[in-house]
Structure 1
Amino acid sequence: MLSYYRVEAVIFDRNILVSGSQDKTVKIWDIKTGRCAHTFEGHQGGVWCLSFFTPNLILSGSHDGTIKIWNVKERKMARSILAHDGPIWAMVRHGKILVSVSQDKTAKVWDISRCLLLKTLTGHNKPIFAVDMNEDGTLVITGSADRTVKIWDVETGEVKKTIWVSSTTSVMAVSYHKGFIAAGYDNVVCLHRETGKLIKTFNEHEKRVESVQLKIEDPEKITGAIISSGQGGLVKIWNTKMPQSIQTYKLSKEGGSVKSIKFDELRIVGGLKDRIRILDFQAPNSD
């Protein structure tokens, strides 16, 4: 699957894959054939993050500071929100609640069904690059260039916990699951409890980590998996109990950055410099 500039974001379901790119477009792909079904244009900057709202409505966040809603069936932009005073680097949705984070150092909580701003979360003193939510949508987790991860109460807008993840550099990725937080900074992936306690660090990446996804199977035994990717062109799968990765995939032969990864039980999808790679575990030679 080809784009024209660096792919910054990917999401997918059973039928379609959606990509956002520095070429300012949102592209809809047939996940089975790899063909581009439609290209949405309208952003004035690169598209850095995506989310499904419904199977027919796609949300995109851009370097231009806007969130746009795209109608896949009607192939048109449904709404545009001037959301932030700087680039939107990441967003996450839980039900009708969307949280976007930005270069402007804020996280904003939206009722996206009404395009209504509910709260602005302020407390980071540098840009926010990453965001996630807990399973019931009551907590927001943010990762920032100020080297911290913050846990916010959605209802009150207050910080419940600040975790100093890195002593030297920006937190580029966060993923929350069942009381645990995986974070990526520099070439490191770390696993923390929600309380802030460091459980383990994983150090095999040679370059900056830019995407992590965490899945905890047993919170008491702290068993589960982390998938991470970054500037080295590698996707690594980790067992939370082991210091070494259990599997490594090189998505980019040239060693380019893997900016975004998503996975389910059957596939890992990664966005690269100018293309999208799909690892389909049902089809050993898929590309």
Structure 2
Amino acid sequence: MKLDPETKKAGTEPFNFMISEDENYNQEHYEMVGEAITDHVYQLLEEQLHMHKLPVPSDYRFEHRSFVFVTKDVFVNTEKLLVLVHGSGVVRAGQWARSIIINDSLQAGSMVPFIKKAQELGYAVLVTNTNDNDRFLNGKRIVIKGSSSPKEHFDFVWKNYVRDCKCKHVAILAHSYGGLLIVEMVEKYFSEFKERVFAIAFTDSVHSITGQKVSKKVSDFLQKVSINWVASDLPLDTAVKTPHNEITRLSAGHEKHEMTTWSSFHSLFRFFEDRYQHSREKQEL
């Protein structure tokens, strides 16, 4: 894609990966941009959305630690909590897709608009950082204890932070591999999820109820409280063929995997609010 020089505006040119004949240099340049994006998104979460970090693990004796971002009301909000879980790869807390941030917009590829909307609706918010698993010092990889893998990271966050939240109603939004991770956690902490989690929204999740050998009680629970918005060329919210015993699939209204969370934005929050009202009504009976 090339822009007419006469109509170019500052900041509107698309990202250009091929800036050199040296492929290694191009890749290094791309990764440097990615690291800058990570720092910028962290800054937005702290300065624009007034979130703060909680360490993973919380023991300050560990030199190398990861962290999550939370809103200031995370331990005092007694009503609603939204937990955001990105997919695998290079993305870090606050990002859905680095490639979308680079090639489309921060709005479409980051969690910023989701956090803003959640806060408007009265949710406390917790943003996981499941891919932050190690540090490299002097060419040596140092694994972060308590966050050595996405599973260990979320496990720590659930046991040490979500459990301590006073929110009676917990919702989860998980993209791609994050969906597989959540299914595993529901299996592990089923009684807690059943008691507190009123809605789980997946966006093009890569989980498999059959492949992960999910128990019937977990499968039934997930089918009751969850929807998976999947990549599709069908209009948004159109029913997509769903395998037996799987979570209901609806079209995300976009064929690109990385765009499914942003393209489903309004549907996701409608789903959360509908499920929340249902949960409140059930509680009052």
Q: Which has the higher contact order (CA 8 A, sep 6+)?
A: 2
Give the number of the structure whose residues are more often strand, by fraction.
Answer: 1
Provide the TM-score with structure 1 as the length reference.
0.30
Q: Relative to total residues, which structure has the larger helix share, 1 or 2?
A: 2
Larger Rg: 2
